[in-house]
Amino acid sequence: MRKDFERAYITVHGPIAVLTMNHPQAMNAVSPKMAGGLISAIDHIEASDAIRAVVLTGEGKAFCSGHNLTETPASESARDPGFVLETSYHPLLRRLRNLRMPLIVAVNGVAAGIGMSYALLGDLILAARSAYFLQAFARIGLIPDGGATWLLPRIIGTARARELSLLAERLSAETALEWGLINRVYDDGSLMDEALKLAHRLAEGPTASLSMIRQLYWASLNNSLEEQIDLECQMQRRAGRSEDAAEGAAAFRQKRPPNFKGR
């Protein structure tokens, strides 16, 4: 089943929603139109109790080539890159970060600029062998955005983050894996099959606690140890009261596979 939005669409595979950026003629370069379409698609996903995991990818040969520079906004204020970030791209970043279910990103081609930032929001980041990552801002006299200057030092360290941003060189999927930027690399033809396998594995799990796990790891990037262990305590109380926790304990005692419901 496919549902279309502006420059994006969803296909549903049982409990999995594959969210696809759909402007291949522009290598899925993001624009306010696409950002709006993706947010509408996320609204649709989160309104469904049946969807328990999401795969984000791009149509055609690119994941997302960054900001669509060929589409000039009509108003003077919208020509300000900060305006577009604040009103279109940052809301999408926040929606992906705060998604209430596991997010797998399948990078099927170039992930450049803010497209790279979107890719880094995945709980598991998979890449095709031919894919690459690029912080291209210095080539056009701009600075990294979309949270890149916050995300990259925390994932790969300050030295490598500066290198990517200052030199604006391509980072291959294999090197990204070696640096710890992504989780796995697959042959191009098997990327989506592998992404769906992992998504189904997560969707069959206790997705209520998986959602809390992703919240905890985002919070850990800013929290002190004391703040983090307090937050773990709060969330463990919530998790411990869930139906899935009761089912997990019962399945363990009865030596059978658990049947999690995500609640």
The pLDDT value recorded for residue 101 is 92
Q: How far is 178 from 180, CA to CA, in rounded Å?
A: 6
Checking if the pLDDT of 38 tops 80, the result is yes
Checking if the pLDDT of 232 tops 60, the result is yes
Checking if the pLDDT of 120 tops 70, the result is yes
The pLDDT value recorded for residue 255 is 85
The pLDDT value recorded for residue 243 is 85
- SS3 letters for 178-233? HHCCCCEEECHHHHHHHHHHHHHHHHCCCHHHHHHHHHHHHHHCCCCHHHHHHHHH
Contact in structure between 137 and 144 (CB atoms under 8 Å): yes
Mean pLDDT of the chain: 92
Indicate the range of 46-55, 79-88, 166-175 predicted with least confidence.
Answer: 79-88
Q: What is the pTM of this model?
A: 0.92
- Dump pLDDT digits (tens) for 59-117: 999 999 998 878 755 554 446 778 888 888 999 999 999 999 999 999 999 999 999 99
The pLDDT value recorded for residue 113 is 94
Question: What percentage of residues in the chain have a pLDDT greater than 90?
Answer: 76
Amino acid at 40: S
What domains can be seen in the chain, in order of their start residue?
Answer: 2-203 (3.90.226.10), 207-254 (1.10.12)
Q: How far is 20 from 55, CA to CA, in rounded Å?
A: 8
Closest to 210 measured CA to CA, from 149, 123, 141, 127: 123
Please give the average per-residue pLDDT across 234-244, as a whole number.
Answer: 89
Angle, CA 223 vertex, CA 221 and CA 226 arms, to 5° = 140
Please give the average per-residue pLDDT across 43-56, as a whole number.
Answer: 94
Question: What percentage of residues in the chain have a pLDDT greater than 70?
Answer: 97
Checking if the pLDDT of 204 tops 60, the result is yes
Which H or E run contains 10?
A: strand 8-13
Cα 142 versus chain centre, distance? 24
Please give the average per-residue pLDDT across 154-163, as a whole number.
Answer: 96
The pLDDT value recorded for residue 77 is 44
